[in-house]
Structure 1
C-alpha cells in the first residue's frame, strides 16, 4: 500500500483506502529508465498471459470490458500468439496491445522487471523493495527536473513524474519555497507520464487556500473514495498569482489530473497540446516475480465538473505546439502582469522582459526565414 502524506489529505472509508493509495500509480519505479530486457520461455509466456487475463477480468472497473479483454488474451494463448515472442519486452508490449484493444483504456498495461520483485513497483512490502523504490525516487530527484526563475521574475518548475508524496513532499516544499517570490509560475508537465494521486492533491493544495474535494472514485464493487487536498502544506502557498500549466500528447494520468483540476478551479491556464486521456485510477498486480499488470479499478468523477478526461484528454486553453509552449506561457504571463498591474513598481521590469522575448522571437524568425 502506498502511504499518503498526512491524514487530512484524504477522507475515505477504510475499504477504499488501497484504491486511493494506488490511484494513477501506473508508471513503474523504473518506468522512465532504460529497461534491461530478458528472454522468456514458452511456458512463461502463456502463464503470464493467462494470469494477466484472470486479473483484468476480476478487477477491471468495467466488468464487461474486462471480460472482453480477458477473452482476447485467452484466444491469443490458444492460437499460440505469445509463444512466438522471445523477450519480456515483446511479451509485455503484445499483452498490453491486446488488453487495450478490448477496453480502449491506456492505463491497462503489462510491464516487467529483469530483477525479481516480491511486490509491485512502489508498494514497498519488503525492506529490499522499499530500498529499491527509494533509490529510484532519489535518482529521479523525486520527479523534479528543473526549478528556475525566468526573465521578468516568472517561476518555472518541470516535473517528470508524480512520486510518492511520502518521499517527494520535501522536494516539493523546497521548490515552492524557491518560487514563492516570483510573480507568475509555469508548471511544465509536457513529459510527465504518471504517478500518485496523493501527490497531485498535494501539489494542488499549494494553489488554493482551503482544503478542497477534488474527486470521488467509484470502484467496480460499489465502494467509493474521496480525494481531498491537504489542510496544511510545508512552506508558503502560491495564491493570487498567475499560473500556467504546460501539457502535451505525452502528459498522462496523475499529471493530467493536475492540469484538469487547476483548470477547472480557475487557478491555471493550460498551454500546449491535448493530453493523452487516462483518468481511470488503479494499481499494479504482480504476475509472478518478473511481470506486473496495471489495472484500473475505479471510475473517477471530478467534484468540480462531475466528469473526467478519460479517452479525451485535457484540452488546453492556449493551444500551441508543445515545443513552443514554454515560451508562449512565459510571454502570456508577462502580458498578463503588465495588463493587470500597469501601475506596479515592477511593471517596467515586466515590460522590459516582454520586449526582450519579442525581440528574441523576431531574431528567431529572421534566422529561419528563406534567404
Structure 2
C-alpha cells in the first residue's frame, strides 16, 4: 500500500526521528484519489507537511517519469540533459551602467563539473567591476558543493568553513570554499544578492552563506525556508518521495533558514529588487580578512 510504504520510508530516513513518528501518524487515514497521480501527490504532500511544514518533505509528480536515483551513469546523463535544457546554473551575465556586474543564478545549481566552468566564465567576463549583483530570484535549488564553489569566487585565498550537513545519526559533512577557483572578486567589491519568495533550498543556502559571512547584502523578499537536504525514493513510474535526511548548520550562525527563510537586509518586492539595490549605497564590502 502506498501510504504504508511512505510511512516506512519517513520513519527510517527523516532527519528528526521523533518528528517522523508524528508525520507517520498524520498519514493514517489519508484517503487517496483514484488514478490521478498529480492529485495523489498533492494530497500526500499536504499530509506530510502538516506537522512541521518541511517543504522538502513531499511527493513529487513527474509526468515524463521520475528522475533516476540509483545508477550513477543514468544520474549523470539526467544531469547532462538538465543542463542542456536549463543551463549550467548561470542564466545571465551583464555589465550594467556604472561598471556593475550582474550574474543570474538558477533555476537549479547543478553539479560542480557543470557550474564550475560557467561560474568561472561569468566572473571572468566581469573582471574589473566595482560592484556585483547576484540574482537568485529564480533559483529554486542546487547542489551544496556547487553552492560552495560559487561562494569561493567571492572569498579570499584561505578556505572558509560555510556549513555542516548533520545527518540523523549525528555524522557530519563539512562544506568549505575552494580558494583555488579563479577569478575571485576582490574583497573591496561590494555584493548585493537579489531574492524572491520563490528562492529556495540551494538558492537560499547561497544567499544565507553570503549574508552570514558579511560578504553580501540581501535585497528583495524573504525566501521559501527550505534548509534540509533530501534523498529521493521512487513510489512508481511517475511519483517520487523526497525525504530530508540531514539538517544544515551554518558555521557562523550555528543554525539555518528552515521554516524562516533568508530575511533580506533591504526588504522590497522581488520585481523591484534590482532597482532598489542600485538606487541605494553599495552592499556590504568584504572587509573580513578571510576575503582579502
For the criterion TM > 0.5, the same-fold answer is yes
- Structure 1 residue 66 corresponds to structure 2 residue 15: no
Partner of 1:268: 216
Partner of 2:79: 133
- Structure 1 residue 57 corresponds to structure 2 residue 57: no
Partner of 2:233: 285
CA 1:305–1:118 in structure 2 vs 1: closer, same or farther (change >3 Å)?
A: closer
- Measured after TM superposition, the shift of residue 117 of structure 1 is 5.0
Runs of 4+ deviating beyond 6 Å: none
**1:176-218 deviations in Å (ceiling 9; x for gaps):** 1111221111111112111111111001111110211111222
After superposition, residues 217-228 of structure 1 pair within 5 angstroms as 217-228=165-176
Alpha-carbon separation, structure 2, partners of 1:277 and 1:329: 22
Count of aligned residue pairs for this structure pair: 281
CA contact (8 A) 2:131 2:282 kept: no
Partner of 1:105: 54
Alpha-carbon separation, structure 1, partners of 2:250 and 2:113: 24
Alpha-carbon separation, structure 2, partners of 1:116 and 1:275: 29
- Measured after TM superposition, the shift of residue 146 of structure 1 is 1.3
- Listed as ranges, the gaps of 5+ residues in structure 2 are 286-292
- Listed as ranges, the gaps of 5+ residues in structure 1 are 1-45, 341-371
From 269, 283, 288, give the equivalent of 1:321: 269
**1:50-105 deviations in Å (ceiling 9; x for gaps):** 322211111111112112112222321xxxx10x2432211111111110112321
TM-score under structure 1 normalisation? 0.71
Partner of 1:197: 144
Task: Say which one has the larger Rg.
Answer: 1
- Measured after TM superposition, the shift of residue 305 of structure 1 is 1.1
CA 1:145–1:303 in structure 2 vs 1: closer, same or farther (change >3 Å)?
A: same
Alpha-carbon separation, structure 1, partners of 2:197 and 2:66: 31
Where is the helix percentage greater, Structure 1 or Structure 2? 1
Partner of 2:197: 249
